[in-house]
């Protein structure tokens, strides 16, 4: 072919693609040649022919088989259909079995040769391959083989041949996205070459390099977007607050802030209190569970209200909002600051009263849930918005909250410790304060990793805690019984068991499907010690404070991520008494065992986070950042599997390259980029 192809050309310019096939590609989001180049494989397999007698059963393997018998279809109760035939090579034969794909019957003709790829099963010296992948031997090529996303009516071969038809033109179809300086600094090959490598890998090493390039691209543009956002926000100037006598506040607080809390309060004060004009505060306060973020936020609130502005605190759940309302209300009442509560269940009548109050000259702390960002709610004179457990809110919700504020000082609280390099990258639009030490006198929560074999002893331990007048949390990973098939006790099942085993105790049950009022009643009951045991799904993860609870039992602990487990453990050890966390493990593999053992042996959230980053890559932290439009779709921990250091280094490079690029931009270029889609795709 010596055609001239353009990235905007429709697929129909390719031989063999007509209107029908091109509409099937459209289902994959591919409507032109440029997009076809960007239709990346979702996975890869190693294409290699193994003789049947050399294959290891129960491991994936590829075979070159000749079809030996006519496919036959049998029917089973419930409408199930099974297609079966035999095929083999010179060393033996195997049953090939497909479920519910009777149309494949005409595909396999006796005597034809196919490449089959699947997990070989061996039973009573009979070999079987269930639902293997397959292709004509004529299309087979050894090496790393791309597997594309599938769409109805579009075979892997059809996708592959369309892609292969355009790859020779990649130089003109694939545009470079990175600035040329960055490509140079990073020593990248050009983008077209990387794209070709992804579609048609030449070696495992080259494939990894190509993937790294795309991962870098995503990180670069993510970083650039945050940097531009930061530059943009820096243009929104605000008047500083006047300084405030904090002595009454600290007296009322009733404890001495830790040095880390002091430092955070100082940093926030400098953001808020100054002469003249400065950009609004946009700060993340990061601190482990129980590190005392609320007191720091309260100091910011105090400064704000004393400056005759309203302060807003938004919590992700009704329970948490009420808890803050109760404790902050009590803290501030004697200081002459009234606290208002506004959640989804606030009645119309009360909302009217609140509106009335807000229109007067008094300033308040308004605590609530996302009801605060509903359009019908209008809070005037906002000087500060605090968002607790920020990762529980979507980006859009957070943006809406800040849009509502005329003077948008923003403080975000996060209980998810994040390794420093990663935090600087993920929250590049914000300043960061870290509370890295716990208040004094905190006893370490003793953590045990046990199996079902210790069930009776665990139950006896629960009894002892309750006899001592304490309370117990029992957390299960799932809520419905349909999941119990896999040997995992559902929360409902667990609740029944606990009620039966502890007939004389008051047992409550909490799950995410309950109505807010129900949840609330349950949680309030527990915190007022009207319940002894609270069985729950991980909904209690967020910020609940019941100091009398001294035992956290986590069922099927291997099912939770390290940071969730750490958060759950943080629900106990909040009072003066010794607390315990029991990790009841189900089936463990090497990595889940290592994870749980690490949790058992470490109570420093930042160290656990480092461990997570090292073993699982940064993927788990992306959710914390609520990255919004960018989802790091290329990110793959396996690319970094061999070296934990390189992911951190790649992240730092992406950030510094993005910063250098932004520094070179003129204001006009910046504002054009800010509004263009270039940053988004
Ligand atoms: P988190 O950071 O998880 O939101 P909280 O703000 O709820 O933690 O604080 C946890 C507990 O520690 C609260 O009961 C709080 O009163 C207490 N606390 C906070 N700071 C201190 C301190 N400096 N000294 C003693 N107790 C503190
Ligand atoms: Mg908290």
Q: Give the pLDDT score at 609.
A: 86
Ligand 1 atom closest to 570 (CA): 3
Ligand nearest to the CA of 315: 2
Nearest to 636 by CA among 652, 624, 649, 647: 647
Ligand 1 in reach of 191 Cβ (< 6 A): no
d(CA 182, CA 375): 43
Q: How far apart are CA 300 and CA 386, in angstroms?
A: 9
Categorize the per-residue pLDDT at 680 as very low, low, confident or very high, splitting at 50, 70 and 90.
very low
Mean pLDDT score, 165-193: 93
Nearest ligand by distance to the CA of 296: 1
* pLDDT over 80 (residue 662): yes
Tell me the ligand closest to 250's alpha carbon.
1
Q: Is the CB of 415 under 6 A from ligand 1?
A: yes
Q: Give nearest CA residue, ligand 1 atom 18.
A: 292
Percent residues over pLDDT 90 in the chain: 49
CB burial of residue 3 (10 Å; 0-12, 13-18, 19+) = exposed
Q: So what's the pLDDT on residue 479?
A: 55
With a cut of 90, say whether residue 87 has pLDDT above it.
yes
Distance 32 CA to ligand 1 centre (A): 57
**Confidence at residue 240, expressed as pLDDT on a 0 to 100 scale:** 93
Q: How far apart are the first and last CA of the chain?
A: 30
Residue 9: DSSP 8-state: S
pLDDT of residue 677: 55
Q: Which atom of ligand 1 is nearest the CA belonging to 545?
A: 7
> What ligand is nearest to the CA atom of residue 328?
1
Distance of CA 464 from the midpoint of ligand 1 (Å): 27
545 lines ligand 1 (CB under 6 A): yes
Q: Tell me, using a 6 A CB cutoff, whether residue 255 lines ligand 1.
A: yes
Condensed to tens digits (0 to 9), the pLDDT of residues 409-468 reads 999 998 888 888 888 888 888 899 999 888 887 778 999 999 989 999 999 999 999 999
pLDDT tens for each residue of 213-269: 988 998 898 889 888 888 887 887 889 999 999 999 999 999 999 999 999 999 999
Q: Ligand 1 center to residue 296 CA distance, Å?
A: 9
Quote the CA–CA distance of 530 and 522 in Å, as a whole number: 9
Q: Does residue 414 have its Cβ closer than 6 Å to ligand 1? A: no
Over the chain, what is the mean pLDDT?
87
pTM: 0.76
Query: What does the pLDDT read at residue 643?
Result: 54
Q: pLDDT > 70: what percent of the chain? A: 89
Confidence band for 620, pLDDT divided at 50, 70 and 90: low
417 lines ligand 1 (CB under 6 A): no
Mutate to test the pocket of ligand 1, among 256, 389, 416, 439 (most ligand atoms within 8 A of CB): 439
Q: Are 445 and 573 in contact (CB under 8 A)?
A: yes
Neighbours of ion ligand 2 (CB under 5 A): 543
For residue 69, pLDDT over 80 is answered with yes
Q: How many CA atoms lie within 13 A of 517 on its CB side?
A: 4
Give me the mean pLDDT over the 54-82 stretch: 89
For residue 134, count CB atoms less than 10 angstroms from its CB and return exposed for 0-12, middle for 13-18, buried for 19 or more. Answer: buried
In this prediction, residue 150 carries a pLDDT of 81
Evaluate whether 382 touches 405 at the Cβ level (below 8 Å).
Answer: yes
CA distances to 10, 16, 163, 200, 436 from 6, rounded to whole Å, are 9, 18, 14, 21, 54
- Tell me the CA–centroid distance for residue 234 and ligand 2, in Å: 28
Count of alpha carbons within 13 Å of 604, Cβ hemisphere only?
Answer: 8
| pLDDT at site 629 | 46
**Rounded distance from Cα 194 to ligand 1 centre (Å):** 51
Is residue 229 packed enough to be buried (19+ CB in 10 Å), middle (13-18) or exposed (0-12)?
Answer: middle
Mean pLDDT, residues 27-42 taken together: 92
What confidence tens digit (pLDDT) does each residue in 282-321 have?
999 999 878 899 999 999 999 999 999 999 999 988 888 9
The reply to whether ligand 1 has any atom less than 6 angstroms from the CB of 75 is no
Q: Which residues is 385 bridged to in the sheet?
A: 312, 410
**Which atom of ligand 1 is nearest the CA belonging to 327?**
16
Q: Which of 627, 475, 637, 443 is nearest to 564 (CA)?
A: 475
Residue 650 has pLDDT above 90, yes or no: no
Supply the pLDDT for residue 637.
Answer: 63
């Amino acid at each position: 072919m010596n055609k001239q192809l353009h990235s905007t050309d429709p697929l129909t310019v390719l031989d063999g693609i007509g209107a029908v096939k091109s509409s099937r590609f459209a289902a994959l989001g591919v409507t032109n040649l440029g997009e076809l180049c960007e239709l990346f494989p979702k996975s890869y397999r190693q294409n290699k022919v193994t003789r049947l007698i050399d294959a290891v059963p129960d491991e994936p393997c590829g075979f070159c088989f000749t079809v030996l018998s006519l496919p036959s279809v049998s029917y089973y109760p419930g409408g199930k259909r099974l297609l079966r035939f035999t095929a083999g090579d010179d060393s033996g034969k195997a049953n090939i079995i497909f479920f519910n794909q009777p149309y494949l019957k005409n595909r396999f003709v006796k005597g034809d040769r196919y490449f089959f790829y699947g997990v070989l099963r061996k039973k009573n010296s009979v070999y079987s391959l269930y639902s293997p992948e397959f292709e004509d031997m004529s299309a087979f090529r050894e090496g790393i083989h791309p597997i594309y996303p599938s769409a109805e009516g579009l075979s892997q071969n059809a996708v592959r041949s369309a892609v292969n038809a355009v790859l020779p033109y990649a130089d003109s179809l694939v545009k470079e996205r990175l600035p040329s300086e960055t490509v140079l600094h990073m020593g990248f090959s050009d983008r077209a070459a990387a794209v070709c490598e992804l579609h048609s890998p030449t070696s495992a090493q080259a494939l990894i390099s190509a993937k790294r390039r795309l991962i870098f691209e995503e990180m670069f543009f993510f970083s650039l977007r945050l940097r531009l956002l930061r530059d943009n926000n820096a243009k929104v100037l605000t008047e500083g607050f006047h300084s405030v006598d904090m002595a009454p506040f600290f007296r009322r607080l009733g404890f001495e802030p830790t040095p880390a809390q002091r430092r955070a309060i100082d940093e926030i004060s400098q953001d808020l209190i100054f002469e003249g004009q400065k950009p609004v505060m946009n700060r993340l306060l990061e601190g482990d569970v129980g590190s005392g973020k609320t007191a720091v936020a309260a100091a910011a609130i105090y400064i704000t209200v004393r400056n005759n502005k309203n302060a807003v605190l938004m919590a992700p759940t009704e329970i948490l909002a009420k808890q803050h309302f109760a404790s902050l209300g009590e803290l501030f009442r004697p200081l002459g600051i009234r606290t208002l509560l506004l959640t989804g269940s606030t009645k119309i009548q009360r909302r009217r009263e609140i509106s009335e109050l807000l229109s007067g000259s008094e300033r308040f702390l308004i605590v609530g849930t996302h009801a605060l960002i509903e359009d019908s709610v209008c809070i005037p004179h906002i000087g500060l918005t605090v968002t607790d457990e920020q990762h529980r809110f979507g980006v859009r919700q957070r943006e809406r909250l800040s849009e509502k504020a005329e003077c948008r000082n923003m403080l975000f609280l996060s209980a998810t410790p994040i390794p420093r390099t990663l935090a600087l990258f993920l929250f590049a639009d914000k300043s960061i304060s870290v509370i890295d030490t716990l208040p004094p006198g905190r006893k370490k929560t003793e953590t045990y990793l046990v199996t079902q074999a210790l069930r009776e002893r665990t139950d006896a331990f629960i009894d002892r805690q309750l006899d001592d007048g304490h309370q117990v949390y029992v957390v299960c990973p799932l809520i419905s019984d349909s999941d119990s098939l896999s040997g995992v006790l559902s929360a409902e099942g667990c609740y029944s068991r606990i009620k039966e085993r502890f007939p004389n105790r008051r047992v409550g049950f909490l799950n995410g499907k309950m109505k807010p009022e129900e949840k609330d009643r349950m949680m309030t009951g527990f915190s007022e010690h009207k319940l002894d045991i609270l069985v729950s799904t991980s909904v209690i993860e967020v910020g609940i404070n019941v100091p009398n609870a001294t035992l956290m039992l986590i069922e099927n602990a291997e099912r939770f991520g390290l940071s969730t487990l750490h958060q759950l453990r943080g629900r106990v050890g909040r009072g003066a008494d010794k607390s315990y966390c029991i990790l009841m493990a189900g089936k463990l593999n090497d990595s889940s065992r290592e994870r749980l053992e690490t949790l058992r042996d470490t109570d420093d959230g930042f160290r656990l986070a480092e461990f997570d980053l090292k073993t699982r890559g940064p993927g788990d932290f992306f959710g914390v950042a609520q990255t919004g439009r960018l989802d790091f779709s290329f990110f793959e921990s396996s690319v970094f599997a061999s070296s934990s250091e390189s992911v951190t280094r790649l992240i730092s490079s992406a950030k510094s390259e993005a910063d250098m690029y932004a520094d070179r931009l003129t204001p006009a270029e910046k504002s054009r980029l800010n509004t263009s889609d270039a940053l988004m795709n």
